[in-house]
Amino acid sequence: MSKEKNSRWVAWMMRNYRLTFLVVGLMFILGIYGLDKMPKAEFPDFTLRTGVVVGVYPGATSEEVEEQLVRPLERYLFTFKEVKRAKTTSTSQNGICSVMVELNDDVDNKDEVWSKIKHGLNSFKSTLPQGVADVVVNDEFGDTSALLVAVESDSWDYRQLEKYCDLIGDRLRTLPSVSNVRILGNVKERISVIVDYNRLSAYGIGSQQLADALSAQGITTVSGSVSGWQKDMPVHVSPALRGEDEIAELIIYSDADNRVVRVKDVARVERGYDLTDGFIEYNGHRCVIISLEMLAGNNIVQYGRDVETMLAEIKAAELPEDVSIH
């Protein structure tokens, strides 16, 4: 009976072949349309259940870190039933420790669990020794960049490039498919006080007195070490509090005869960028990178087109000609 019914369907489709071709053609067209519109991602969606908890304990030995920070931290983390104890490991060294935490395989909403752990750690910090500076959690290992945009110019410095990157990032965040925008490779501006030790010794002033004078004015200095008889020693100063001229005019010494010694008498004050820690180049030019992430469920091809269209509009209307976007 079933064979006869199947043969009837086949016979009907052969007799009405025009309608059959029409249905097949419509399905083919819908398939091509769906191939273009279906969600596409550069990387497959997966759940990464691993995170790291870092504790900072300045001045403590590895044994003190292990006894006073790592053990209480592990005990607290193991109070969460979602934490897989067998896969959680810790390492400690002088002044710092890290605990690699892995959640159970049956955890579906890892963001909710990590939010609960972070919230609990904020209260747990008060039970740790006073010397513990901070406990930080990082659980965003699964976030990947969908696009990298290089913003470079030979005419503008890093401070201006950062402003342009903020402008571009704010505009790109208006796209519904953009989830996160991060700026990478921006070198922070600083003011350096470069001390001439010959002048400093001629006035009978020590380097510590100069550092104390700068600190008294609310300027944060970065301490370092001096070896040998070097003439110049840079002291890094936060540029957010003072300009070069104000720092140069600061009085570091005065006596009863109203004779004063200012910073400019014993040092050079310069504004610039510290490139010793590294920087990013594109086509041989220093640049700043904008990292873009895509919301799950979107089409990476259409995502790229939307970003390119937005960048073209920004470049034409809001950026100078000597700023390039790649």
CATH code for the domain of 286: 3.30.70.1320
Would residue 116 count as lying in a domain?
yes
- Provide the whole-model pTM: 0.56
Does residue 178 sit in the same domain as residue 196?
Answer: no
| Same domain? 301 vs 197 | no
Please count the structural domains in the chain.
Answer: 3
Q: Do residue 155 and residue 303 come from a single domain? A: yes
Are 289 and 158 within one domain?
Answer: yes
Per-residue pLDDT at 205: 76
Report the alpha-carbon distance of residue 288 to residue 186 in Å, rounded.
6
Q: What is the dihedral of CA 107, 108, 113, 115, to 10 degrees?
A: 160
Beta 147-152 vs 285-294: how paired, if at all? Answer: antiparallel
Is residue 300 included in any domain, yes or no?
A: yes
pLDDT tens digits along 20-45: 888 888 888 888 877 767 666 666 66
Q: What mean pLDDT, rounded, does the chain reach?
A: 80
Q: Quick check: is 73 in a domain?
A: yes
Containing structural domain, residue 57: 50-138
Between these two residues, 274 and 261, which has the higher pLDDT value?
261
State the CATH number of the domain containing residue 102.
Answer: 3.30.70.1430
Residue 253 included in any domain:
yes
* Least confident among 95-99, 141-145, 247-251: 141-145
In a domain, 40, yes or no: no
Same domain, 195 and 260: yes
Per-residue model confidence as pLDDT tens digits over 51-60: 899 999 988 8
**Tens digits of residue pLDDT in 225-264:** 444 444 445 555 544 445 777 777 777 777 777 778 887 7
Residue 43 burial (CB < 10 Å; 0-12/13-18/19+)? exposed
